[in-house]
Structure 1
Amino acid sequence: MLAYILRRTLWSIPFLIGASFLAFVIIQAPPGDYLTTYAAKLEAAGQSVDTARLNSLRDRFGLDEPFIAQYWKWITNILRGDFGMSFEWQQPVADLVGERMLFSIILALSTILFTWAVALPVGVYSAIRKYTAGDYVVTVIGFIGLATPNFLVALTLMYFGVVYLGADVTGLFSPQYATAPWSWAKLLDLLSHLVIPVVIIGMSSTASLIRIMRANLLDELYKPYVTTARAKGLGELKLLLKYPVRLALNPFVSTIGWAFPQIISGSTIVAFVLSLPTADPLMLQALMSQDMYLAGAFILLLCILSIVGMLVSDILLAVVDPRIRYN
C-alpha cells in the first residue's frame, strides 16, 4: 500500500509540470495581450491611445519576449512564491487570489460534504426500496434537480428571501462581518451563509450521485456473494454496509479529483447572482481582460487542485477497494 501511494505521488510531479505549461498556453492563446485589450477599451470610449506608453509598458512587462522565456520567468517566480503583478488591479496576484481561493475551497468542500451526506443514504434507500413510492419520489426529485439550472434556483431563492422573508441571501457574510477580522462569531456567520450556496451548487451533483449510487448498488445486491452471505445468517444491515455498499462507493471516491475544480469553475453564474466573494468572478474578469498573471494563477491553482484531488481519490479508492491496490 505504501509503495502504491509513493508511486502515485511521484507520478503527480510530471502532471504538475505539464499543468503549469498548459495553464500558460491557455492564457496566451487569445490574440493580443492585456495592453491590446486596454487600448481597444480606450478607443471604444473615444480616448486617445499613447502608443509610446503602450510600447514602454510592453517592454516593462516583458510581453514582447518569446513564449518560452515568458513561461520560464513566470514559473520560476511562482516557485519562489511570487505570482507576479496584476495588470488591471496593479496589485500582487497573491493578495488578490489568496482569500478568494480560500472561500472557493471552503465552498467546494462544503458542497462535496453536503452531496455525500444526502446522496449516499438516499441512493441506498432508493436501491433497497426499488419501484416503491419512495423510490419514485426520489427519482422525480432527482430529475428535477438535474434539469433545473442552479442560477435559476439562486434567483428564485433571492426573490423568496427578499419578498417573503425580508432577508438578503447574497454574500458569505453579514454586513457587520464583511470587513471585520476573523473571530468565532465571523466563522459562525460564514457557516450560516454557506447553507444556501451549498444547496444551490450541490443540487445537480447530488441528484446525479443518487442515480449512480442506486444503479451501482442494484448491480451488487443480486450477486452470488450477497446471496451466500445472507444464507450464512449475516444481518441485513451489516451485510449491506460491509459488502455491496462498500463496492458501490467507488464513484463517490473517484469523483473527488474533478469535483473541486468543477465546483469552483462551474459556479461562476451562481457567484455573480449571489455576490459571492469567490474566485469565479475575478477569474472570468481576468480572462476577459487578458490579465495573464492573474488568470494564470487561477488556472494553475485549479489544475493543482485537480491533480491533488485525483491523488487523494486514487489513495482512497485503494483503501476502499483492495482490488485497485493489488494491480
Structure 2
Amino acid sequence: MVGYIIQRFIAMLLTLVAVSVVAFAIIQLPPGDYLTSYIAALSSTGDQVDPRVIENLRIQYGLGEPFYVQYWKWITGILQGNFGHSFEWKRPVSELIWGRLGNSVMLEGLAVIVMWLIAVPIGIYAAVRKYSLGDYLATVVGFIGLAVPNFFFALIVMYLAFIWFGTTLGGLFSPEFENARWSLARIWDFLTHAWIPVLVLATAGTAELIRILRANLLDELKKPYVTTARAKGLTEFRTIMKYPVRLALNPLISTIGWLLPALVSGSVIVSVVMNLPTAGPMLLRSLTTQDMYLAGAIILLLSVLTVVGTLISDILLAWIDPRIRYGGK
C-alpha cells in the first residue's frame, strides 16, 4: 500500500508539470495578448494610445518574449509564491484569487457533501426496492435534476423567494462580513447564505450519483456471493451493506478527482446569476480580457485540485477494494 501511494504521488507530480505547460499554452492560444485587447477597447471608445507606452508595457510584462521564456518566468514565480501581476486589476494575482478560490472550495465542498448525503441512501433504497413507488419517484426526480440546468434552477429559486418571501437571494455574506476576517460569526453568516447555492449546485450531481449507485448496486445484488451470504444466515441489512454497497461505491469514489473542478467550472453561470464571489466569474473575465497571469493561476489551481482529487480517490479505492492495486498487482 505504501509503495502504491508513493508511485501515485510521483505520477501526480509529473502530471502537474505537464498540466502547468498545457494551462499556460491554453491561455496563449487566442491571437494577441492583454495589451492587444486593451488597445482595441480604447480604440472602440475613440481614445488613442501612444505606441511607445504600449511597447514599454510589452517589455515590462515580457509579452514580446518567446513562449518558453514567459512560461519559465511564470512557473518559477509560482514556485516562489508569486503568481504574477494582474493586468486588468493592477494587483498581484495572489491577492485576488485566494479569497475567491477559498469561497469556491468551501461552497463546492459543501455541495459534494450534500450530494453524497442525499445520493447514497436514495441510491441504495432505489436498488434494494427496485420498481417500488420510491424507486419510481427517485427516477423521476433524478431525470428532472439531470435535465434542468443549474443556472435555470437558480433563477427559479430566486424568483420564488422574491414572490413568496419578498427577499432577494444572492451573495455569500452579509454586507458587514464582506471584508471581515474569518471568525465564528463570519462562518455562521456564510452558512446562512450558502445553503441555497449549495442545493442549487448539488442538484444535477445528486441525480447523477443516484443513477450510478442504483445501476451498480443492482449488478452487485445479482451476483452469487450475495446469495451465499444470505444462505449463511446473514441479516439482509448486513448482507447488503457489507459487500454489495461497498463495491458499488467504487465508481462514486473514482469521481472525486473531477467532481470539485467540475463544480467550480460548472458553477460559473450560477455564480454570475446569484452574484457569488467565487473563482468562476473571475476566471471567465480573465479569459475574456486575456489577463494571462490571473487566468493561468486559476486554471493551474483547478488542475491541481483535479490531480490531488484523483490521488485521493485512488488511495480510497485501494483502501476500500483490496483488489485494486497499482499496475494490476
Give your verdict on TM over 0.5: yes
Whole-Å separation in 2 of the counterparts to 1:248 and 1:85: 47
% identical equivalent positions: 55
Q: Check if 1:302 corresponds to 2:284.
A: no
| Aligned partners of 1:24 and 1:296 also within 8 Å | yes
1:277 Cα deviation from its structure 2 partner: 0.4
Q: Please give the residue correspondences for 1:11-160 in structure 2 after superposition, counting only pairs within 5 Å.
A: 11-160=11-160
Deviates more, 1:151-160 or 1:224-233: 151-160
1:282 Cα deviation from its structure 2 partner: 0.6
Q: Please give the residue correspondences for 1:135-214 in structure 2 after superposition, counting only pairs within 5 Å.
A: 135-214=135-214
Q: Secondary structure of the equivalent of 1:322?
A: coil
1:284-316 CA deviation, whole Å, 9 max, x = no partner? 000000000000000000111110000001000
Q: Please give the residue correspondences for 1:253-292 in structure 2 after superposition, counting only pairs within 5 Å.
A: 253-292=253-292
Whole-Å separation in 2 of the counterparts to 1:222 and 1:293: 53
1:161 Cα deviation from its structure 2 partner: 1.3
Whole-Å separation in 2 of the counterparts to 1:60 and 1:175: 38
| Aligned partners of 1:116 and 1:252 also within 8 Å | no
Whole-Å separation in 2 of the counterparts to 1:263 and 1:80: 29
Whole-Å separation in 1 of the counterparts to 2:178 and 2:60: 36
Q: Secondary structure of the equivalent of 2:91?
A: coil
1:269 Cα deviation from its structure 2 partner: 0.3
Per the alignment, residue 244 of structure 2 pairs with 244
Deviates more, 1:69-78 or 1:167-176: 167-176
1:173 Cα deviation from its structure 2 partner: 0.9
1:180 Cα deviation from its structure 2 partner: 2.6
Aligned-pair RMSD on alpha carbons?
Answer: 0.9
1:146-187 CA deviation, whole Å, 9 max, x = no partner? 000111111111111122112232111122222233221110
Amino acid at match of 1:126: A
1:248 Cα deviation from its structure 2 partner: 0.2
Normalised by the length of structure 2, the TM-score is 0.98
Amino acid at match of 2:155: L
Whole-Å separation in 2 of the counterparts to 1:251 and 1:188: 34
1:191 Cα deviation from its structure 2 partner: 1.1
Q: Secondary structure of the equivalent of 1:28?
A: coil
Whole-Å separation in 2 of the counterparts to 1:275 and 1:122: 31
| Aligned partners of 1:126 and 1:135 also within 8 Å | yes
1:131 Cα deviation from its structure 2 partner: 0.7
Q: Secondary structure of the equivalent of 2:197?
A: helix
Q: Secondary structure of the equivalent of 1:105?
A: helix
Whole-Å separation in 2 of the counterparts to 1:39 and 1:168: 38
Q: Secondary structure of the equivalent of 2:233?
A: coil
Normalised by the length of structure 1, the TM-score is 0.98
1:214 Cα deviation from its structure 2 partner: 0.5
1:208 Cα deviation from its structure 2 partner: 0.7
Whole-Å separation in 2 of the counterparts to 1:223 and 1:132: 21
Structure 2 alignment gaps of length 5 or more: none
1:52 Cα deviation from its structure 2 partner: 1.3
Amino acid at match of 2:128: I
Q: Check if 1:229 corresponds to 2:229.
A: yes
1:107 Cα deviation from its structure 2 partner: 1.1
Whole-Å separation in 1 of the counterparts to 2:176 and 2:99: 18
